[in-house]
Amino acid sequence: MIPTGVDLEIVNVDVKDIRFPTSLGAHGSDAMHTDPDYSCVYVTLETLRGVSGYGLTFTLGRGTDVVKLSVLTLKHLIQGRNAGEIFANFSHIWRSLTSESQLRWIGPEKGVTHLAVAAVVNALWDLWAKLEGVPLWRLLSTMEPELLVSTIDFRYISDVITPAEAIEMLKKAQEGKEERIEELLKTGYPAYTTQVGWMGYSDDRIRELCKKYLELGFTAFKIKVGRDITSDINRCQLVRKEIGYENTLMIDANQIWDVEEAIEWVKRLSQYKPLFIEEPTSPDDVLGHATISRALRPLGVGVATGEMCCNRVMFKQFLQAGAMQFCQIDSARIGGVNEILSIYLMAKKFNVPVIPHAGGVGLCEMVQHLQMWEYTSLTKSMKMIEFVDQQHDQFIHPATVVNGKYMAPVAAGYSTQLTDEAVENYEYPCGKEWQRMFAEGIFEEIKY
Amino acid sequence: MIPTGVDLEIVNVDVKDIRFPTSLGAHGSDAMHTDPDYSCVYVTLETLRGVSGYGLTFTLGRGTDVVKLSVLTLKHLIQGRNAGEIFANFSHIWRSLTSESQLRWIGPEKGVTHLAVAAVVNALWDLWAKLEGVPLWRLLSTMEPELLVSTIDFRYISDVITPAEAIEMLKKAQEGKEERIEELLKTGYPAYTTQVGWMGYSDDRIRELCKKYLELGFTAFKIKVGRDITSDINRCQLVRKEIGYENTLMIDANQIWDVEEAIEWVKRLSQYKPLFIEEPTSPDDVLGHATISRALRPLGVGVATGEMCCNRVMFKQFLQAGAMQFCQIDSARIGGVNEILSIYLMAKKFNVPVIPHAGGVGLCEMVQHLQMWEYTSLTKSMKMIEFVDQQHDQFIHPATVVNGKYMAPVAAGYSTQLTDEAVENYEYPCGKEWQRMFAEGIFEEIKY
């Protein structure tokens, strides 16, 4: 299960700033992020054997260069090491990346430096799965519980979960695993769409997209709210009219409100029966989310958050405080697969369903693996995975949704490898498409 | 009070990576940061008028370049603007820096990007005080409450404090202000020293330093703990023997423990009667600190934290949850003076004393201003300010401690301007001293 060989030396760590000009179409726009250019920092780990691991972290355009530089500061901790030895001591290597004695001051374990760790760690997992010749979800699903748990750093969460407890949870979920794997391969995993309600879209476009996604087999829809209440009421009405009350509606405020404001605003939208309000306030405000949760519980509206929750210590507290009823892990904000596993385990302990964030560059590709592992090997129950139909064609093995369901990936790895064309066209600022757009005056090149 | 004039246009934003080779002497070493090279990102804002503002954020060596690049991504928000107009709309400008629509994804308001904001915002305050011809603490102390409060962004803290409440607090503290200013100028403000107990120091050195600082008039001493309990007991005994029980001892674990471990470890050190245990666990663990606080209260040991607390939302929760008995703001981790003012106001509301973190490059220089304002204009009571005797000679107006007391700064500004020599010698990697050390093989230049 742990690959070995001197030819597993990581001989090169390559890092690229890749940006897609999505702001041109208001794709991805919300109350806080009005003009995102969906981007990523893209890490390639080359081994002597010739097998490479690809990893990425999602960004919104400006600042991708900052995260790229942060990855470069970690390069010396990975380059020249043997990948097999990394996997055999993964929690220690993970801590060396997150707790480097000088670098931790500018984190620790949050923001730029943790996004950088995510890109590197995700590339390591892609490499591991490729070396085993299986998709990541199957690698995780077939790992012995002891090995899987050995990859996790339990620092700062041992008051809520211990390695022994985690192993026991996983062992309890072994029964019927093969059947669940078969089922996944046959039927896929439910998706929900955020595509119908970006902030920048017109009413007509929203109507048209609701119809489109209903026809595509989707039964759950999320829209952006928080800019003004009249518009929100209008959008909720519009979508409910299209999808009916037999389908699921979710609303997402992207951190626009203060605590009291969130409660008052969502009360007014509660008549449209949203399953949850996502990111009602600051992603750091555990106690604020707990207050909002208590206020909205009688109305049947849950609180969801997590895409900007910066590390396992914050997730731990959200769970402890009853501050999230839906846990939205992101595959590239916290420190990669190792740390995400610890959050799945804590969520299971607190009986909080994980409904992952996705939609940015590569996020759907990655998170499907995690959620499928969770189904086969931890909770035995399927929830939903967010789906946004953007940038998938930039990947060699794109996430594929059919009849409103993610098809289980079959290619080896973590589905994180971009096409050569994507890199050639969209590397910033030297890629062909960027050079063209600079020349045509569509964008101005950022220079400091 | 708000300077005006077209010549207040900020015509250049210069950013430098400055590193001092402190790892050569184990200065600043603790349980988590074993080999820091005390460093800073140094921002100069030049105006047409010829007056410049200097601001910095503290770093530990590696990664300073990442924060520098993060400042460069903010440059377009400041360069070309009129400083007077910035001050007149300071909370909006502050939000434009912390909530830039693409950059906020790689924060928000934490880690690298928030350190970068701190450097810029601190430079703006230095400029403001210089334009008024007064030290920052006097600028703050003489500002009308309405103007001071107008600089604060209350987003995400309005459930705990409102602008109106803040103005009222400040108005209540007006009486006797002139007398307090006079007193400060005459007697200074109490300092405590961390100099006696860095992790890398020998017993003899600790003894010698205790004697030295007692003679210098200090009455409060902090030492590092957390590497091993036997050594900690030895160090506590050693220091108590030198300073007696009539002086104050504090202990600092720099985040080394998990929650349960912290409680057990500190129980064993409680016989040495430390005033507080600083950073017992993850700086993000509000609920963990609350648990530790409850466990240690019967032993008379308080919990202190804050130097790595990433923003006002986290401080808000530490205060709400009773998770800190001593609030240790840092002048350069959160978003500069504006945000720090909001934390002082919340701490006052919760009746928690602020005892600031200092000691890194420029931190003593800056934090003395804040704490002196707090005394004259908010709480009317003096506490302590950390003092470490390092890198002060690199500043044009160094923090000055006499008889264990910080002397009130008299030079205009925020005491943040480095000497030309410091910049020439220690800019990384091109400074003269770094070039010499590379040539002599004392350090290897970092190249990616």
Per-residue confidence (pLDDT) for residue A25, from 0 to 100: 78
Percent of chain B with pLDDT over 70: 99
CA atoms within a 13 Å half-sphere pointing along the CA-CB vector of A320: 19
Q: Amino acid identity of B86?
A: I
State the Rg of chain B over Cα.
21
Q: Cα(first)–Cα(last) distance of chain A, in Å?
A: 47
Distances (CA, A) of A220 to A189, A195, A240: 13, 11, 11
**Residue B167 predicted with pLDDT over 70:** yes
Residues 94-133 of B with CB under 8 A from A: 99-115
- A257 → chain B, closest CA residue: B156
Q: Do A284 and B110 touch (CB under 8 A)?
A: yes
* Whether B77 contacts chain A with CB within 8 A: no
**Residue B415 predicted with pLDDT over 70:** yes
Inter-residue contact A358 to A386 (CB < 8 Å):
yes
The whole-angstrom distance between B176's CA and the closest CA on chain A is 36
Provide the whole-model pTM.
Answer: 0.98
CB-count exposure of residue A371 (10 Å: 0-12, 13-18, 19+): buried
Q: Which of B27, B222, B357, B405 is catalytic?
A: B357
Catalytic residue status for B357: yes
Per-residue confidence (pLDDT) for residue B26, from 0 to 100: 67
Selection from B265, B197, B201, B277 nearest residue B237 by Cα: B197
CB-count exposure of residue A136 (10 Å: 0-12, 13-18, 19+): buried
Catalytic residue status for B224: yes
Q: From CA A431, how far away is CA A17, in angstroms rounded?
A: 10
Partners of B406 in the β-ladder: B189, B401
Q: Do A156 and B258 touch (CB under 8 A)?
A: yes
Q: Do B106 and A67 touch (CB under 8 A)?
A: yes
Q: From CA B140, how far away is CA B368, in angstroms rounded?
A: 12
Token output for B176: 């006797």
Q: Amino acid identity of B338?
A: N
**Residue B30 predicted with pLDDT over 90:** no
Inter-residue contact B99 to B122 (CB < 8 Å):
no
Token output for B109: 């308001």
Q: From CA A41, how far away is CA A113, in angstroms rounded?
A: 12
User: DSSP assignment of B395-411, as one string?
Assistant: BSS---EETTEEPPP-S
Produce one character per residue of B301-320: b if its CB has 16 or more CB atoms within 10 Å, e if not.
bbbbbbbbbbbbbbbbbbbb
* Whether A321 contacts chain B with CB within 8 A: yes
Per-residue confidence (pLDDT) for residue A26, from 0 to 100: 67
Split at pLDDT 50, 70, 90, the class of B266 is very high
Q: From CA B406, how far away is CA B190, in angstroms rounded?
A: 6
Q: Chain A contacts of B259, Cβ < 8 Å?
A: 156, 158-159
The whole-angstrom distance between B14's CA and the closest CA on chain A is 10
Per residue of chain A (448 residues), what is the pLDDT tens digit? 899 999 999 999 999 999 999 999 766 777 788 889 999 999 999 999 999 999 999 999 999 999 999 999 999 999 999 999 999 999 999 999 999 999 999 999 999 999 999 999 999 999 999 999 999 999 999 999 999 999 999 999 999 999 999 999 999 999 999 999 999 999 999 999 998 887 778 899 999 999 999 999 999 999 999 989 999 999 999 999 999 999 999 999 999 999 999 999 999 999 999 999 999 999 999 999 999 999 999 999 999 999 999 999 999 999 999 999 999 999 999 999 999 999 999 999 999 999 999 989 999 999 999 999 999 999 999 999 999 988 999 999 999 999 999 999 999 999 999 999 999 999 999 999 999 999 999 999 999 9
Per-residue confidence (pLDDT) for residue B435, from 0 to 100: 98
Q: From CA A344, how far away is CA A371, in angstroms rounded?
A: 9
Per-residue confidence (pLDDT) for residue B111, from 0 to 100: 98
Q: From CA B194, how far away is CA B390, in angstroms rounded?
A: 11
Inter-residue contact A262 to A281 (CB < 8 Å):
yes
Q: Do B311 and A106 touch (CB under 8 A)?
A: no
Token output for A17: 């700033």
Inter-residue contact A345 to A378 (CB < 8 Å):
yes
Per-residue confidence (pLDDT) for residue A1, from 0 to 100: 83
Partners of B53 in the β-ladder: B45
* Whether B73 contacts chain A with CB within 8 A: yes
Q: For the CA atoms of A287, A289, A294, A296, what is the dihedral angle to 10 degrees?
A: 160
Find the farthest-apart pair of alpha carbons in chain B and give their distance in angstroms, rounded: 64
Q: From CA A376, how far away is CA A448, in angstroms rounded?
A: 49
- Residue-wise pLDDT for B74-113, tens only, equals 999 999 999 999 999 999 999 999 999 999 999 999 999 9
- Residue-wise pLDDT for B292-326, tens only, equals 999 999 999 999 999 999 999 999 999 999 999 99
Phi then psi dihedrals of residue B413, to 5 deg: 110, -165
With residue A113 as reference, give the H or E element that holds it.
Answer: helix A111-132
Q: Is the dihedral of CA A91, A93, A96, A97 positive or negative?
A: negative
Q: Do B66 and A112 touch (CB under 8 A)?
A: yes
Per-residue confidence (pLDDT) for residue B423, from 0 to 100: 98
Split at pLDDT 50, 70, 90, the class of B134 is very high
Per-residue confidence (pLDDT) for residue A439, from 0 to 100: 98
Q: Cα(first)–Cα(last) distance of chain B, in Å?
A: 47
Distances (CA, A) of A17 to A84, A352, B108, B313: 28, 35, 20, 31
Distances (CA, A) of B311 to A65, A138, B308: 23, 40, 9
- Residue-wise pLDDT for A241-279, tens only, equals 999 999 999 999 999 999 999 999 999 999 999 999 999
Per-residue confidence (pLDDT) for residue A197, from 0 to 100: 80
Distances (CA, A) of A102 to A73, A99, B60, B196, B241: 11, 8, 5, 22, 33
Closest by Cβ to A112, choosing from B35, B62, B112: B112
Q: Do B110 and A115 touch (CB under 8 A)?
A: no
Inter-residue contact A249 to A223 (CB < 8 Å):
yes
Distances (CA, A) of A418 to A49, A68, A258: 20, 17, 39
Produce one character per residue of B261-275: b if its CB has 16 or more CB atoms within 10 Å, e if not.
bbbebbeebbebebb
Per-residue confidence (pLDDT) for residue A29, from 0 to 100: 73
